[in-house]
Amino acid sequence: AIILGIESSCDETSAAICIDGQIHSNIIANQTIHEKFGGVVPELASRAHQQHIIPTVNEAIREAKIHKNAIDAIAFTRGPGLLGSLLVGTSFAKAFAMARKIPLIEVNHMQAHILAHFIEDPKPAFPFICLTVSGGHTQLVLVNDYFDMELIGQTIDDAAGEAFDKTAKILNLPYPGGPLIDKLAKEGVPRFQFPEPQIKGLDFSFSGLKTAILYFVQQQIAQNPNFLQDNIHDICASVQERIISILLKKLRRAAEHYHINQVAIAGGVSANSGLREGLDKLAKEEHWDAFIPRFEYCTDNAAMIAIAGYYKYLYNDFATQDIAPLARWAINHQK
């Protein structure tokens, strides 16, 4: 089966072609308009999706070397995400399905981040635990089957990606700060100690860390106006190390509690080199099989939507034309 996947939940417009479970193209149009505002502006994101969606889909079809008429189904991100952004992908998918008389498949964006692990070998075996860390979510998920997922832990305030991005703002770095902190941290030493929150169970918290960093930076600048410039690498290394230690501590706790040794990470923050190295190291100590997506499948992409759509296609799990996008949509409600 040939599945066209569409992703438009935030600020990436993406289209991908999946043929019998293999990804043949994955085109991602990033929106640069948001940089000057220091964050995603929803209204501008919707407009950019509207402009990008047709060329992105055409490019995905062209790169996969297929004909539009050969597409068997179209899968799209129904949510969670920015409603105006989701509407563009949803409307496109509905129109495409109607015009071509092919099935329409709804995909949960957070399930898709996890299902990105089924694009390539090695694939995790069920049940496995996935730490999904992205711009809007930080979740520990017990994955029993492709669409049978249980939320076992989550952030009670900021997401891990938000922690990176908000800290970057405090450090006067441009948006999105996550990738930049990663880069700068490579040349730094984590010699500043930031507090680790004491949160019960498998939940996370990052807002205290953000505040602690803000106060620390303000205090240091009062003594040395060049503090940031002089120490930026070490600050980034320290921030990154603390965010990673918070994440991996709970991941280890979850694996212990559920007696599971198949462990995965997913979402934009799983592109972080420190987290990837940290997980590899921990996996060796704990004798886990660790699964880390390829970089292009960490941040938002349509390949993960297409692969999720492919598995739903196999189950004949189709949506109807009256479907509407959902800004909020739990990961664990589906079959």
The answer to whether residue 268 forms part of the interface with ligand ATP (CB under 6 A) is yes
* Per-residue binder mask for Fe ion (CB under 5 A), 285-314, x = binder: ---------------x--------------
SS3 161: helix
For residues 167 and 177, the answer to whether their CB atoms sit within 8 Å is: yes
Token couple for 1 = 């089966």
The answer to whether residue 134 forms part of the interface with Fe ion (CB under 5 A) is yes
The C-alpha atoms of residue 205 and residue 70 are separated, in whole angstroms, by 47
165 binding partner (options Fe ion, Mg ion, ligand ATP, none; Cβ < 5 to 8 Å by kind): ligand ATP
Contact residues for 199 (Cβ-Cβ < 8 A; gap 6+): 156, 205
Place of tokens 């999946």: 18
**Which of residues 85 and 262 has its CB atom nearest to ligand ATP in the complex?**
85
Tell me: is residue 234 an annotated ligand-binding position: no
CB-based closest residue to ligand ATP: 268
Beta bridge partners of 75: 5, 105
The answer to whether residue 165 forms part of the interface with Mg ion (CB under 5 A) is no
**Which of residues 10 and 16 has its CB atom nearest to ligand ATP in the complex?**
10
178 binding partner (options ligand ATP, Mg ion, Fe ion, none; Cβ < 5 to 8 Å by kind): ligand ATP
Contact residues for 22 (Cβ-Cβ < 8 A; gap 6+): none
Q: Which residues ranging from 5 to 24 are in contact with ligand ATP (CB under 6 A)?
A: 9-10
Beta bridge partners of 29: 13
Q: Given candidates 10, 269, 271, 302, which one binds Mg ion under the rule CB under 5 A? A: 10
The answer to whether residue 300 forms part of the interface with ligand ATP (CB under 6 A) is yes
Beta bridge partners of 287: none
The answer to whether residue 179 forms part of the interface with ligand ATP (CB under 6 A) is yes
What does residue 73 show for φ and ψ, rounded to 5 degrees? -160, 155
Q: How many CB atoms lie within 10 A of CB 73?
A: 23
**Segment contacting Fe ion by CB under 5 A, of 25-33, 92-100, 130-138, 319-327:** 130-138
- Distance in Å, CB of 218 to Fe ion, minimum: 32
Q: How many CB atoms lie within 10 A of CB 22?
A: 12
SS3 207: helix
Binding region for ligand ATP (CB under 6 A):
9-10, 81, 109, 113, 134-137, 161, 164-165, 176-179, 182, 267-269, 271-272, 299-300
Enumerate binding residues for Mg ion (CB under 5 A).
10-11
